[in-house]
Amino acid sequence: MSAETILPIAAHTRRTQAERSQETRSKVCEATLQALVDVGYAQISTPLIAQRAQVSRGALTHQFPTRNDMLVAAFEKLVDEWRDGYPFSLDPDKKQLSVDELVDALWSAIFANRRYIAAMELMLAARQNNELGHALRDILVTWIRKRDRITVRLVGGNIDDTEADLKVQLHLSVLRGIAMHQSFDSDPQTVKKLIELWKQIARKA
CATH no. for residue 59? Answer: 1.10.357.10
Answer whether residue 2 shows pLDDT above 90: no
> What are the distances in angstroms from CA 168 to CA 106, 149, 184?
10, 9, 25
Residues 159-194 have pLDDT tens digits of: 999 999 999 999 999 999 999 998 888 788 999 999
* Structural domains in the chain (count): 1
Enter the pTM of the model: 0.86
Residues 180-205 as b/e (b if ≥16 CB within 10 A, e otherwise) read eebeeeeeeeebeebbeebbeebeee
The pLDDT value given to residue 188: 85
The pLDDT value given to residue 137: 93
Q: Domain span at residue 173?
A: 3-204
- Does the N-terminal peptide bond of residue 87 adopt cis geometry, omega within 30 degrees of 0? yes
